[in-house]
Amino acid sequence: MSLYLYPQIKKIGSYDTSWYDIGVKEVVRGTLHVFKVKDPLSGVWIFRVYDITSLGKIEVQCFIEYSAKVTNMHLFIERRRAIYKEINNYYLYHVVKIPYIDEKTGRLRLKEANNISEIHEFIRRKFRLKKYGEVISSKSKYHNKLVVLLRHNEREIVEEFFYERIRLLFAMDLINKIRDALSDMISYENKSMFAVNIGVHGERKFTMFKRLSNTLGLSSRDLSIILTKILRYVKPEKCKGKGIEIVYVFNKEFRAI
């Protein structure tokens, strides 16, 4: 598996057709745009973008086409659509909903984003984010929640959905796998980072790379690319009787992957 920073997005086609709309509970006519997205972390997805001009909205749903192992995370993504509503002829808005694990039940859920720091770095860089109340004048339970503003561009909508939910969820899972694989090498941990002691002569560095390569199914080259995204810094530490030990400190900010 080859790792690259961005998913491969390819448009398969656009079709004028009709379908049953769950929101209005009737058959509507519009344009269906179909995309294929290849992601090294989660697999190959088929995106269906339902463009309903008459209702002033776009709905997105995706399905996993291929993955080495289909998990509950894949099924969770498949079951939940996203809606993008028109503000004017140029922009749509979408209430950002991010995946998280319910600590009480252990189940995956979606919640509205309250803070920009909760949102994936790609979305923060590429799109405009505002509070719902700044965009829509009518009162709503989403008044203080974050919305993303997008142009009427199907490819950008697919990108936004991918980073909002798929990449965020699978990057979070990646960090957990790394942490579990290196659990006996962790010398320090808090909510934002954990430190891995790799020893004096680098024997444990080889062990670290071998474990992660086996756990994640990645080559050393691809693994190095991942680590450059989440490795905050490397620092030498003096230890009594052991000379200098190198400690890798991992940033658990998976929203940058």
pLDDT in tens, 152-205: 999 999 999 999 999 999 988 888 888 898 888 887 888 778 888 776 655 677
CA atoms 174, 130, 161, 100: torsion sign:
positive
Rounded Cα distance, 257 and 253, in Å: 8
CB atoms within 10 A of CB 215: 15
Confidence at residue 240, expressed as pLDDT on a 0 to 100 scale: 46
pLDDT of residue 201: 54
Question: Which pLDDT band holds residue 219 (cuts at 50, 70, 90)?
Answer: confident
SS3 state of residue 64:
strand
Name the residue with higher pLDDT: 223 or 100.
100
Band the pLDDT of 1: cuts 50, 70, 90.
very low
Please give the share of the chain, as a percent, with pLDDT higher than 90.
47
Indicate the SS3 state at residue 235.
strand
pLDDT confidence of residue 241: 45
Name the band, by pLDDT with cuts 50, 70 and 90, for residue 41: confident
